[in-house]
Structure 1
């Protein structure tokens, strides 16, 4: 138990006195059982940490049955309260007995045995202790007696001594063998317990014989009646390695969070969970999955977060017995996000004032050139709605408008925003490309739900808290508060999602809520995440194996669970619509050709409009599409310079000009294809590229870097030493 070598303590004069204190030994004690309670103190999870030993919590001496204390002293150390660590009378008797081959009680005192329990190298293994160990044991026992009280020695001994099999300490012994607290052990039970100390692995008959001898020494021979049968019964429980009394029926409400918090804890952890909410969320998930069993769904997860504090109130990692992989934690597992990332994309576009909630977007077929070929996104229903407002595009979860918006925002900008919201994506924005708008990145339910919580808090982000001992939330402004409010308003708008989901569906609640669904490719993942004024709830359903579901959408899969949990959370209180920030302007709008019904729309200052006209352009804001911000270009020595041109390209603009490092780029024959594309010969260094309209107004700008070396001849023509290839 203590790492210091007893032999070393003996070998260095004076150091033997530096034995650990009682408090140090008590604090270093680790139970093999860890418990997790909810925020109110209700037990919700127990976990076995040490598979080799069964230790329960430390028990104070006053909470241990006097019968056990008396039996221990009578059997192991009659002069315990008289000697100073070594019973020299017993030592002499033992030596005399060894000389004449007669049996004696033995000379090892409780204090000497405690020394062997504290120091691992003094423990008796398969063979007897060496002379050096015995001498060390004597000196340590005397030091313990000088520095510890007798009651502390007795208490530590009863908590550290092994009894039988995996049972260590009186608490585990009492719970497993007798099904009671150590304070309730009677005289015969105490005799059996003490008999096990001297011979932990003896046969029941031998244990019963020794226990009866102890009872007779205590003048209680009547307790020997039927003792052998009782001994066989209790020892059978130890052989079967039975659970601690009550553990089999103890609540196991949060096994996944329990493993996360209780690992190596060896104590009771007070979590932020609410037992009632945890229980309801688990039941709601299981009921929904049971109803969808014919749709090839067996797994799911639910998380509930308090908006203000960041406390996790429910952490349901799986469907339990319905799952073939119940140990997989669906709250932390990474899955494709589907359409659940769209609110953050549109928030960024509104924040940058590239779009408004009323902006008209083109929901029609589009082909986008990428390094991997053409990217041709489709809507969920394979249909196109034509021109729609951004409010309708987000509310009805249309894919094409989202991809067109990402072309404006750029994958790299969107990637950086997602990182600031705690997603910790593994790849870069350019790796995901335009598919990032449709949730091609893998995210966890916990990070996704917490990001929606940032929308609920008008752009303020903080990490979550799962234990009451964790630090309280520290907020940072990750998104614009006004833009977040507008996105939240769209997600709460039943009319906005009617084009796809209708007015009545599982997303509709009797209280104010904002919600979004998502389905990944081939229906492998199904999400529903949303928030009220007080809570954010996230639900995932699918299969831990990655197998696709059969004909399941966000509204029919995860949404019913989300709705039930949200309604439960507000069973006694309402959810108030958030107050409109002072910087958000409410403006009546109309749409040309009555594309959509007239309404009052929300705008950021300077972006408000009263009439939305059908634009002739593709609805994509002018921006640099290549190179991307911060891109690194390396020069390749094996490619001729003429073939290493870096092509500047723009979107949403047919007329304009380029400015590189403060100097306009002049188009020449052979370097243009009639649009704004420009083929530039890479030159080492850091460069700033600016896109302007015909009036010289800056529309977009970025920086990139070229690495390598070129030699420029006197006539000014570049001669290749090393060439260029984009990375």
Structure 2
């Protein structure tokens, strides 16, 4: 009983102290209260309160209004275009979601009124402290009527926002801290105007969740500018100030009460649904904020190119960027159903290396919109061929008119035979280097690499800034067809070296509008670079593959090359004019194959759109021919190609080009397919009698042979067929020899092949099928069971670049 009485006495003492504090606060008696309060507070609490008071007194208060406004920082960095207009916002601070500082003139009058009525109805009458409200709140706290009343004016709340020492702690504010807050508010009112105080409060206050400031509130929750907030929206915003994280029913109740005070009781109808919808938008993107270059903003931010105000000034052309984004969305929409979902675009200024447009993904169409596909590693396809031909021209191993044999070739790939094929699976015989490059023929490119060497090409590609991490021996001859992985940004910049006459310089991230021309490193002679550009700009030379009318055809001079990687996983279109280099990639984030989409049909239309926009008001001139390039009229033997004017380096010019065997005698027939040394593996998922190997014999000029007979393993094959036409054979496991013989039985050519897939022979035997001479499938006793390695056909088309 004594203990209970003592506890009750202590409780009555605390109530008395609290009442005295409240009365003191209401009367503003700052001398009496500290003494009373000190006896009720623990030593730690007293020290904390006194430290806060000292901090306030020691600091410069109030801070200058202009300084507060200018030191305000949004939570987003702003990417600016070359003309200073905003292109993108990039979230860089996750402590709060802050927008821009808005002047009071850009804030709805309805919101200003709602906040004043809700938080400080005598705001324009007091000098920082509303003594009447303080007395009412103190009386309620001391003798409690069950209702808590706030007494903090807008000036007092702003003082706490400006000075951390005045902010409410976990246990609330102590009496001394409250008195310090009152004093700070009076000082603030003596230096700032009422509009300045209201403006600062609206911009610094927390509203809901992580939303700080009226700009973030209005653009996110209400998806509009702050100047357009209605009374209903203003009422909801005002009650959020009183309870930023209050539950929905509380907000609806308070909001309706405020609307009645504002003389808008009709707005209470449907308020619950309205409030719920607004709160559901708390994580949405900002209203009316451009989002044109998120990946470029991130790249420049990571490079440390933002200024002290969080602004990133770039060389992006806002109109061009918007046009590139629009083209990507429109063209990918046209390809709906083909398995295409993503794209990337890079536009570079040839002189300065500045980036004028940068689209990292297709945005909402992408399965991985945050991935920067302009810097993602992808297989290059045929886009590496210009660098190969430029190297061969510089080494004078060929000219633009040199003839290359577009016929099957088998090369030792280390463990098997590498047999490149063309995109359309057809061969054209002898073609000029100009036609081979412009029409993106694969076999001539491989033959050119045989002249140059994989190591030399790999070293040149690395010097051009392409991210090859292996030497030429690793890629082998497939490097000619783009088996290496590159990024769109590095590839476009490598093409820019050709546009600059062979002079390489890195992308200039720090370039500013009007930047001077870069000084680079010469990797190609200006003559070789010019000839490569002339070859890629030749509409007639690429007509063999692309036709005369395609997205690659412009009304002005451009040099362009396309590429398609293995299984149509990526396609590219990269080219340049005298002023710009444009690179486009189209594909899928996950690397899935596209359906019947190549570089000319996928990336080509976007490339065309971008260049059309760049020269919408004028047409560029053609690059000037270097003095070291000689013009020469040429003709081709056997009328392989039309006569024309061709261009040569130094003393390499000549007037006539003909195949080495182009005489009246067509030469000795040979086996074009299969290539000698081929290793085949039967597909286990396809019945063996449905699988075929093509047979083809040609003369020295790649024409079909009509006077020769096929033999398979010493026995005639295909009797009664025209041996000059394409025949086929149903392969069976084992080693086989094809021979081409003349009428007297003499062997003209021989091709040895190996077919793997022993289980097919076992199945055939079990089914009672006897190998026929016609099918040319004698059984071999030493046939081995198929292994996983057997399933890989050595004359595959892996890493073959396709146009």
TM-score w.r.t. the length of structure 2 is 0.62
Contact 2:114 2:262 in 1 (8 A): no
1 CA distance for matches of 2:217 and 2:258?
18
Could you list the per-position Cα deviations for residues 477-526 of structure 1 after superposition, in whole angstroms to 9, with x for gaps in the alignment?
Answer: 44332221111001111333344444444433333222112121222222
1:494 and 2:534 aligned: no
Could you list the per-position Cα deviations for residues 643-679 of structure 1 after superposition, in whole angstroms to 9, with x for gaps in the alignment?
Answer: xxxxxxxxxxxxxxxxxxxxxxxxxxxxxxxxxxxxx
Residue 512 of structure 1, aligned match among 557, 564, 576: 557
Q: What SS does the aligned partner of 1:447 have?
A: helix
Equivalent residue runs for 1:30-179 within 5 Å:
30-31=73-74, 54-64=97-107, 72=115, 76=119, 98-101=141-144, 106=150, 108-118=152-162, 123-124=167-168, 127-129=171-173, 152-175=196-219
1 CA distance for matches of 2:485 and 2:553?
27
Contact 2:352 2:511 in 1 (8 A): no
Residues 1:600 and 1:462: Cα distance change in structure 2 (over 3 Å): same
Cα drift, residue 234 of structure 1: 5.2
Residues 1:175 and 1:567: Cα distance change in structure 2 (over 3 Å): closer
1:16 and 2:56 aligned: no
Could you list the per-position Cα deviations for residues 202-232 of structure 1 after superposition, in whole angstroms to 9, with x for gaps in the alignment?
Answer: 467766776788799xxxx571533544754
Q: What SS does the aligned partner of 1:585 have?
A: strand
Equivalent residue runs for 1:94-493 within 5 Å:
98-101=141-144, 106=150, 108-118=152-162, 123-124=167-168, 127-129=171-173, 152-175=196-219, 181-183=225-227, 193-202=237-246, 223=263, 225-226=265-266, 228-229=268-269, 232=272, 235-241=275-281, 247=287, 256-257=295-296, 272-274=315-317, 277-278=320-321, 280-282=323-325, 284-286=327-329, 288-290=331-333, 292-293=335-336, 295-308=338-351, 310-319=353-362, 323-369=366-412, 375-464=418-507, 472=515, 474-479=518-523, 480-493=525-538
Contact 2:97 2:212 in 1 (8 A): yes
Larger radius of gyration: 2
Equivalent residue runs for 1:660-679 within 5 Å:
none
Cα drift, residue 399 of structure 1: 2.5
Cα drift, residue 539 of structure 1: 2.9
Contact 1:269 1:467 in 2 (8 A): no
Residues 1:201 and 1:316: Cα distance change in structure 2 (over 3 Å): closer
**Structure 1 stretch displaced more, 439-448 or 34-43:** 34-43
Contact 1:177 1:234 in 2 (8 A): no
Residues 1:470 and 1:126: Cα distance change in structure 2 (over 3 Å): farther
Give the aligned partner of residue 36 of structure 2.
Answer: none
Q: What SS does the aligned partner of 1:518 have?
A: strand
2 CA distance for matches of 1:584 and 1:201?
75
Residues 1:173 and 1:361: Cα distance change in structure 2 (over 3 Å): closer
Cα drift, residue 292 of structure 1: 4.6
Residues 1:482 and 1:199: Cα distance change in structure 2 (over 3 Å): same
Give the aligned partner of residue 601 of structure 1.
Answer: 646
**Structure 1 stretch displaced more, 513-522 or 12-21:** 12-21
Residue 536 of structure 1, aligned match among 581, 584, 593: 581
Residue 574 of structure 1, aligned match among 596, 619, 630: 619
Contact 1:65 1:183 in 2 (8 A): yes
2 CA distance for matches of 1:222 and 1:78?
11
TM-score w.r.t. the length of structure 1 is 0.68
2 CA distance for matches of 1:25 and 1:362?
75
Give the aligned partner of residue 680 of structure 2.
Answer: none
Could you list the per-position Cα deviations for residues 56-98 of structure 1 after superposition, in whole angstroms to 9, with x for gaps in the alignment?
Answer: 3111234445665566566656787898877789777765654
Residues 1:485 and 1:16: Cα distance change in structure 2 (over 3 Å): same
Cα drift, residue 196 of structure 1: 3.4
1 CA distance for matches of 2:224 and 2:190?
35
Could you list the per-position Cα deviations for residues 521-560 of structure 1 after superposition, in whole angstroms to 9, with x for gaps in the alignment?
Answer: 2222222222233443333333332222344443344334
Q: What SS does the aligned partner of 2:590 have?
A: coil
Cα RMSD, aligned residues only: 4.7
Cα drift, residue 584 of structure 1: 1.9
Contact 1:421 1:478 in 2 (8 A): no
Residues 1:341 and 1:203: Cα distance change in structure 2 (over 3 Å): closer
Give the aligned partner of residue 796 of structure 2.
Answer: none
2 CA distance for matches of 1:56 and 1:557?
39
Unaligned 5+ segments in structure 2 are: 1-47, 662-803
**Structure 1 stretch displaced more, 7-16 or 418-427:** 7-16
Contact 1:53 1:166 in 2 (8 A): yes
Residues 1:184 and 1:283: Cα distance change in structure 2 (over 3 Å): closer
Residues 1:177 and 1:531: Cα distance change in structure 2 (over 3 Å): closer
Give the aligned partner of residue 559 of structure 1.
Answer: 604
Q: What SS does the aligned partner of 1:163 have?
A: strand
2 CA distance for matches of 1:311 and 1:540?
19
Could you list the per-position Cα deviations for residues 437-461 of structure 1 after superposition, in whole angstroms to 9, with x for gaps in the alignment?
Answer: 2111111223222322332232344
Contact 2:259 2:267 in 1 (8 A): no
Cα drift, residue 436 of structure 1: 1.9
1 CA distance for matches of 2:602 and 2:390?
26
2 CA distance for matches of 1:504 and 1:200?
62
Unaligned 5+ segments in structure 1 are: 617-727
Contact 1:460 1:476 in 2 (8 A): yes
1 CA distance for matches of 2:608 and 2:117?
66
Cα drift, residue 106 of structure 1: 4.7
Residue 631 of structure 2, aligned match among 581, 586, 596: 586
2 CA distance for matches of 1:24 and 1:425?
51
Contact 1:396 1:500 in 2 (8 A): yes
2 CA distance for matches of 1:193 and 1:285?
39
2 CA distance for matches of 1:15 and 1:32?
29
Cα drift, residue 47 of structure 1: 6.6
1 CA distance for matches of 2:546 and 2:359?
27
Residues 1:182 and 1:372: Cα distance change in structure 2 (over 3 Å): same
**Structure 1 stretch displaced more, 369-378 or 334-343:** 369-378
